[in-house]
Structure 1
Amino acid sequence: MNIVLIPGFWLDASSWAPVTAALAAAGHTPHPVTPLGAGGAADEVAGITLADQAAAVVAMVDGMDGPFVVVGHSGGGAVAHAVADARPDRVEQVVYVDSGPLADGGVVNDELPVVDGVVPLPDWGVFEAEELEGLTEEVRADFRARALSVPPLVANGPQRLHDERRYDVPVTVITSTMPEAVLRDLMAKDHPYVCELARVRDVTVVELPTGHWPQLSRPDDLAAAVLAAVQGEADAEEAMAVPT
């Protein structure tokens, strides 16, 4: 199975290394992505939007044969959802890592400061304590040294979606900072934070308690969780294909 992995803000394709290794060892073909415009100069990325990032991924998957799975972490989840919206007939599953689908018109985070025309990794004090759980001083220093800036319109520009067949694409949410019971309760109440997720017809929730960056704080466990989600979908398809 082709598996596209989209990182969240300030991360690049290499942040998926433990996950890609586990997927490849299991016989899958991982395609980790560095989002369009990540780390670019302000004048070069000023016009790049979420739709542009999604279009770049769609162009990549259009060069692949057969169905694929999309994995999106944090802000990368918005891009993953837009890919599912663009190719609902080919996406087998979307796996959200401490993230979820962003509805049409929604923004990822319009409160992040824009500095010199880009959105840099802010000071740690911007984040909630639970988001930083598991990030040692060494991990934080490495994260900051490798962090790539984000185009402003990706952070504060609106999501644009077009095809409601996206709600038929199965979803797995690997939640690290919110217990499943809380997430399910918000979905039942159609809370704005999860209103788009609540419209998806097939949602599985997997808890992986840690901070907002499990690929940094619990990389091996995240790799196992993503692999289990992908394998679960593959096993379900195989069972449906077997005559009874």
Structure 2
Amino acid sequence: MTTDTSDSTILLIPGHWLGAWAWDAVLEHLTSLGHRAIPLTLPGLDETDTDRMTRTLDEQAAAIERAARANSGPVVVVAHSGANAPVSLVLNQHPGLINRVIWVDSGPATPGIAFAPDFPQEAEGLSLPPFEMLGEQASLEGLNADQLQRFRERAVSEPGPVLRQIVHVTNDARFDVPTTFVCCSMTSSQITELTKAGHPMFAEVANLKSVHYVDLPTGHWPMWSRPSDLARIIAAEALNN
């Protein structure tokens, strides 16, 4: 039997094409470490939802907010990859709800930017690309054949409205939320250098008041390539409030 080591509830938010299932291995490790963690499947990524292709970033942010409010204690949000957009909206709208945000090979969305603003209006959604193409955009390092097969079998196409919606954030209180970057396919040194250089993709990082970087060298999906190490990092950062 494990004993709770933190009052925080950890919300695990997966990136594009993924549901709560993507966190299975990390969830198992977090539970064994005595933490209460809840993986979410965002609106639009539930394959049983017949209207899922109409879901928006606003609906995804609302789902994260509801999950955060459902817990009486402090909440730590873990956001992987494309989950940065809806989590950024929550940080903007309800910064007081979140004790810490942990970006996993991700980071706060740049204001005024959409993931794919030119995604065709007539296209319902974006399917998981062939791995040869995906690997040119995000590192597949550390994933074995079985993991790639599960990724392919379980992936759900990303709704067009989510891809096209521009992220609008204006509340400076979002910068006060303690922040951790788990750096996988990019190192912490690379991120800090790009931030100092004023790279537009890291515009938000320079304004954060409390930032901690943790390097976890692997590919873009560490919840599969290094789940126990990722869980230990999340557990440690959840206590760092």
Structure 1 length-normalised TM: 0.87
CA contact (8 A) 2:14 2:80 kept: yes
Classify the secondary structure of the residue corresponding to 2:31: helix
Classify the secondary structure of the residue corresponding to 2:166: coil
Aligned-partner Cα distance in 1 for 2:46–2:70 = 25
CA contact (8 A) 2:25 2:224 kept: no
Aligned-partner Cα distance in 1 for 2:120–2:227 = 28
Cα displacement (A) at 1:186: 0.5
CA contact (8 A) 2:44 2:54 kept: no
1:183 counterpart = 2:157: no
Q: Determine the structure 1 residue equivalent to 2:4.
A: none
Counterpart pick for 1:141 among 139, 142, 149: 149
Q: Determine the structure 1 residue equivalent to 2:24.
A: 17
Structure 1 pair 149/41, CA: closer, same or farther in 2 (3 Å)? farther
The RMSD of aligned alpha carbons is 2.3
Classify the secondary structure of the residue corresponding to 2:100: strand
Cα displacement (A) at 1:183: 0.7
Structure 1 pair 6/197, CA: closer, same or farther in 2 (3 Å)? same
Classify the secondary structure of the residue corresponding to 1:140: helix
* Structure-to-structure mapping, 1:77-92, within 5 angstroms: 77-92=84-99
Q: Determine the structure 1 residue equivalent to 2:57.
A: 50
Q: Determine the structure 2 residue equivalent to 1:201.
A: 209
Aligned-partner Cα distance in 2 for 1:63–1:113 = 36
CA contact (8 A) 1:113 1:119 kept: no
Aligned-partner Cα distance in 2 for 1:14–1:109 = 25
Cα displacement (A) at 1:46: 4.1
1:156 counterpart = 2:137: no
Cα displacement (A) at 1:155: 1.9
Counterpart pick for 2:223 among 211, 215, 230: 215
Matched residue pairs, number? 233
Which amino acid in 2 is paired with 1:181? S
Structure 1 pair 75/136, CA: closer, same or farther in 2 (3 Å)? same
CA contact (8 A) 1:36 1:52 kept: yes
Aligned-partner Cα distance in 2 for 1:112–1:17 = 31
Classify the secondary structure of the residue corresponding to 1:89: helix
CA contact (8 A) 2:105 2:182 kept: yes
Cα displacement (A) at 1:203: 1.3
Aligned-partner Cα distance in 2 for 1:125–1:215 = 20
Return 5+ residue gaps in structure 1 as ranges. 234-244
Counterpart pick for 1:170 among 174, 178, 202: 178
Aligned-partner Cα distance in 1 for 2:119–2:143 = 20
Counterpart pick for 1:107 among 103, 107, 114: 114
Cα displacement (A) at 1:134: 1.1
Identical aligned pairs, as a percentage?
35
Classify the secondary structure of the residue corresponding to 1:31: strand
Structure 2 length-normalised TM: 0.88
Classify the secondary structure of the residue corresponding to 2:228: helix
Cα displacement (A) at 1:212: 0.5
CA contact (8 A) 1:113 1:122 kept: no
Range moving further from structure 2, 92-101 or 14-23 = 14-23
Aligned-partner Cα distance in 2 for 1:173–1:110 = 26
Structure 1 pair 229/42, CA: closer, same or farther in 2 (3 Å)? closer
